[in-house]
Chain A
Amino acid sequence: AQTVTQSQPEMSVQEAETVTLSCTYDTSESNYYLFWYKQPPSRQMILVIRQEAYKQQNATENRFSVNFQKAAKSFSLKISDSQLGDTAMYFCAFMTRETSGSRLTFGEGTQLTVNP
Chain B
Amino acid sequence: ETGVTQTPRHLVMGMTNKKSLKCEQHLGHNAMYWYKQSAKKPLELMFVYSLEERVENNSVPSRFSPECPNSSHLFLHLHTLQPEDSALYLCASSQGQGGGTEAFFGQGTRLTVV
Chain A residues at the B interface, C-beta cutoff of 8 Å: 4, 33, 35, 37, 42-47, 50, 52, 91, 95-109
A103 touching B105, Cβ below 8 Å: no
Q: B41, B43, B48: which has the most chain A beta carbons within 10 Å?
A: B43
A107 touching B42, Cβ below 8 Å: yes
User: Number of B interface residues, CB 8 Å?
Assistant: 30
A45 touching B97, Cβ below 8 Å: no
**B81 cross-chain contacts in A, Cβ below 8 A:** none
**A102 cross-chain contacts in B, Cβ below 8 A:** 31, 33, 92, 94, 96, 99-103
**B101 cross-chain contacts in A, Cβ below 8 A:** 102
Task: Give the A-B contact count at a CB cut-off of 8 A.
Answer: 76
B108 touching A43, Cβ below 8 Å: yes
Chain B residues at the A interface, C-beta cutoff of 8 Å: 31, 33, 35, 40-43, 45, 48, 50, 55-56, 88, 90, 92, 94, 96-108, 110
- Given the known interface contacts A43-B88, A101-B48, A102-B99, the answer about A109 and B107 at a Cβ–Cβ threshold of 8 Å is no
B90 touching A98, Cβ below 8 Å: no
